[in-house]
Each structure stands twice: as structure tokens, then as C-alpha cells.
Amino acid sequence: MTKHKKLTRSRDNRVIAGVLGGIANYFNWDATLVRIIFVVLGFLPVLPGILVYIIAWVLIPDEPRQTHYYSDGSRKDVTPDDYDDRP
């Protein structure tokens, strides 16, 4: 079974909104390369870069947060146990 990839805005690799970082993650490219390509294409009079970025910011969903839940939905206790050090 293959994992279905979904285009999302990156939480780890973001400068403004994570749009270009998310595109880089989706295609397994370097985020810096995607940013350079975006800046170069932004200078073309045909493609207003800032408008495309804002539209992508609105349309592309944010990457889901990683939670501390097990696969069955139960919570994982992450509280340190200070009482183990007592004699």
C-alpha cells in the first residue's frame, strides 16, 4: 500500500507561511532551490509572484501537528515521574 502524498504548508521549513517549504517537501526538492526559482519567476511580468503566493497561502492547508497520541487515540503520559528517586 502506498502512502498518498498531500500538498500542505510546511511547519518545519517556513519563512513566511510555509508555502514554498511545503512545495519542496511534496516534490522532495531542496527548499532553497524552490525559493530561488520562485524569486526568478516572480520577476516575469506574466506571473505576479506575490499574488500567487497569497493565493497559495489561502488554498493550501497547513501541515497537521504531530501529537503525543498512540495510534488507538489514547494519550501518552509525558509527565516525568519525580517520585522514583525517593529512598
**What residue spans define the domains of the chain?**
1-64
Tell me if residue 75 falls in helix, strand or coil: strand
Side chain identity, residue 75: R
Whole-number pLDDT of residue 32: 92
Whole-number pLDDT of residue 12: 81
Of 22, 54, 50, the residue nearest 38 (C-alpha)? 50
* CB atoms near residue 8 (< 10 Å): 18
Side chain identity, residue 14: R
Of 58, 78, 55, the residue nearest 66 (C-alpha)? 78
d(CA 13, CA 7): 14
Q: What is the pLDDT of residues 33-86, one digit of tens each?
A: 999 998 888 888 777 888 888 888 999 888 887 665 555 556 666 666 665 555
Whole-number pLDDT of residue 62: 87
